[in-house]
Structure 1
């Protein structure tokens, strides 16, 4: 009996052991066979590594500062103007839809709140302004931006629109230390300014300008600045384009980047991966006022030249040629017999300017200065602006179908350039220029023909010629009657040209309009 009982117990234990082995096999997904289980490896991708900006940022950050500006100018009374005062929106009930709309649009009455019209170029001057509370006396905060040291003794660069209207300037270092600064000089035309910090025996970490001629579209850039008052903020992107003209002034030649810049980045640097400044962040394009990936920086080459002059003299002197200019289009080039649409067309030499004294005339095309080709009006403005007043330059012209060179002693660019005056003519003898779709009459001063009517289906109408315009010349030949016009057109046609260049005066301004020659 005892032996039989032991046998049954042994069988139960063997059965239990088999059940545990099966359960283990089900639970762990494999039956042990006396060797260690084999598992699949974790996913690992061998991909090119994006370069880190940490080393660059660590080196350049101490040179980048926040710039705080204060002014004694008091803010405008929010109760005045078209939105306030008697009869204004302030007289409406608080819950009136129009009053709510304009309150929100204006940022609750404190400036524009950073809101702009859709598709509007937004200069940081507009975005950076942060009006403070009204104070009866003493300076108040008016703006803040960014800047960076360019010398160990405390010279630093920022934007002109950051410091304009300011009386007191404070620089906040990367470590939070605040130092007073004084304004050395500004250049509104390029939107640059130089401040100086007196640090005593302290030597400041500073950065240098890059050779921006070596910058290529697609190169990495790192922007460091003070967006929304958040000092020491770093963003990265690439150079999106070069040579951008955004209508800010005659020296537009911006570098476009897609590194995120916002209010407060104004005047801050954009670095290359070697820690050199390739540009100074100045403007953005944004429908909302915030970053959308389109920012514009002043090129290092421009900044280096201007900043050097500001540090030396506190101002910038530029050469002045004294001519109004416009681009040379394909039609203009063809009408003048130029082989390519390059250069700057002189629409009007300014009275008593250096150009007119040297013999430059309306209709001339400036093709080179001191042997350097002129691609267009912007290039000419930069070339002349980079030459000191009083210097004599060789100006190559295309005139009457051939090249010639004149020597011009440059003047100093005046603060307010005067426009050449044109006497207002009156009608005398009406006539028609059927081939051009124009009805004209002689000017009472005998210089040109007044347009009295324009055929709406004519090429002249398509190119913007209006009644009241004065035709001064055709292909640089002065016209006094309709015969002068037809003779000039025949001469151009005999020379194999397809159009003529018509000099038009309107509202004391002069421009050239190419008009096709009718085929007979």
Structure 2
């Protein structure tokens, strides 16, 4: 009998232990935590509101107006005859067109960064701030080759975006695009950095884009691409789209490049880039075989401009540029990007392949001539 009581007591003890363990672990088994005690704060939800609150006041809407003389009847294809007809009274009618974009206030004294294509050919530019103020803006300078422009407004107490031009951006970083898509008003979209160093897109002469899947649409151009701290990492510039809407492939000019253009335009009124005075052509696999090269790298000199730095150094058509100051040259984009930041008069050493023989020449960098602008009508 005593043994039965002992077995019964042990069984009860084991059951009570099991019940205690089950009551302790059951919330985890069910995939939910225990109910918070009364008055306790709810769990924090991930949000980028602080980053947007920090950056959004410095992102502006830009409205432009353009006046042009539009022919009342179709014009012939002859440019000379077209110019003559335009001078006849009553042949054209004055019309106005408007467009919109975005910009970023980068200095407290009124300087704004935007895209060149946002304000190109504009007769009037107006800026609307996040706080409701509006003001006319004047064009300080533009750089069509990078598609950047600098405006200035005469307003006080301006919000300025946090600017870390040398901050490293990585593929996979969360980014937010702020702008004025389709003119609906300031809008923020989210994505990640999809790729870095995108070029050969045919958008600009100098291309080194950040690619992102944050939704960018018409009207976003010139707006801010920020990180989760609210700091500027790029100027939204273009999208890849077959419909005109966002397909998740957008491009932004890196903050470092935009900062350099901003400084040069403020200091000099234009951007000065290093230049050799030659026309480079990429070495394709077929050309590499023709020239008996082991790798399809470097650039072939397709043309040498008279009185340019390359001509003065004795560089010839058909030379293959293989190194710049001892470092290999991958292709024409690599060569242009490495020459661009060099000041006029800077000596560089080019390693060339000429007639199957390696030679080295010293060239003094010249200033790249400004690209001619099409005439305004």
What is the TM-score when the length of structure 2 is the normalising length? Answer: 0.77
- Are 1:153 and 1:204, in contact at CA under 8 Å, matched by a contact in 2? no
Q: Separation in 2 of the partners of 1:50 and 1:362?
A: 63
With over 3 angstroms needed to count, the CA separation of the structure-2 counterparts of 1:45 and 1:271, relative to structure 1, is farther
Q: Please give the alpha-carbon distance, in whole angstroms, between the structure 2 residues aligned to 1:273 and 1:210.
A: 15
Q: CA offsets, 1:263-303, max 9 Å, x none?
A: 11010111122322222111111111111111111122221
C-alpha spacing 1:307/1:50, structure 2 compared with 1 (3 Å): farther
Structure 1 residues 176 and 45: alpha-carbon distance in aligned structure 2, compared to 1, 3 A threshold: farther
Q: Note closer, same or farther for the CA distance 1:141–1:176 as it changes in structure 2 (3 Å cut).
A: farther
Counterpart position of 2:192: 238
Determine the C-alpha separation between the residues in 2 that align with 1:382 and 1:225: 28
Which residue of structure 2 aligns with residue 333 of structure 1? 288
1:222 CA drift (Å) = 0.5
Is contact 1:374–1:380 with CA below 8 Å preserved after alignment? yes
Larger Rg belongs to: 1
Gaps of 5+ in 2: 1-25, 34-43, 76-92, 373-377
Equivalent pairs, count: 320
Whether 1:206 and 2:199 are equivalent positions in the alignment is no
Match of 1:369 in 2: 324
CA distance in 2: counterparts of 1:51 and 1:348, whole angstroms: 56
Residue 51 of structure 1 deviates from its aligned partner by 4.2
Q: Distance in 2 between matches of 1:81 and 1:302?
A: 43
Question: How far apart in 2 are the matches of 1:339 and 1:257?
Answer: 36
- Aligned equivalent of 1:176, options 132, 135, 149: 132
1:81: which partner in 2? 74
RMSD: 2.8
Please state if 1:167 is matched with 2:123.
Answer: yes
Q: 8 Å contact 1:320–1:411 — kept in the other structure? A: yes
- The answer for unaligned runs of 5 or more in structure 1 is 1-39, 83-134, 418-520
Find out whether 1:360 has 2:354 as its counterpart: no
Query: Aligned-pair distance for 1:371?
Result: 3.5
CA 1:416–1:216 in structure 2 vs 1: closer, same or farther (change >3 Å)?
closer
Q: Taking CA–CA contacts closer than 8 Å with sequence separation of 6 or more, which of the two structures ends up with the larger relative contact order?
A: 2
Tell me what 2:171 maps to: 217
- Deviation of 1:401 after TM superposition, in Å, equals 3.5
Match for residue 248 of structure 1 among 203, 208, 214:
203
Change in 2 beyond 3 A, CA 1:259/1:170? same
Task: State the shift of 1:136 in Å.
Answer: 6.1
| Partner Cα distance (1:203, 1:268) in 2 | 16
In the alignment, is the contact (CA less than 8 A) between 2:309 and 2:363 conserved in 1? yes
Deviation at 1:397, TM superposition (A): 1.7
Q: SS at the partner of 1:55?
A: helix
Matched residue of 2:70: which SS? coil
Q: Write the deviation string for residues 25-63 of structure 1: whole angstroms up to 9, x where unpaired.
A: xxxxxxxxxxxxxxx9897568xx984211110111111
Give the superposition deviation at 1:403: 3.0
1:278-427 aligned within 5 A: 278-415=233-370
**Structure 1 Cα separation of the partners of residues 70 and 109 of structure 2:** 39
SS of residue paired to 1:74:
strand
Deviation at 1:390, TM superposition (A): 3.0
In 2, the alpha carbon distance for the partners of 1:209 and 1:374 equals: 29
Q: Is the 8 A contact 1:250 1:378 kept in 2?
A: no
For residues 479-494 of structure 1, the aligned pairs below 5 Å read: none
Residue 162 of structure 1, CA deviation = 0.8
TM-fit CA distance, 1:306: 1.1
**Counterparts of 1:443-454 in structure 2 under 5 Å?**
none
Displacement of 1:172 after TM fit? 0.8
Higher deviation after alignment, 404-413 or 377-386: 404-413
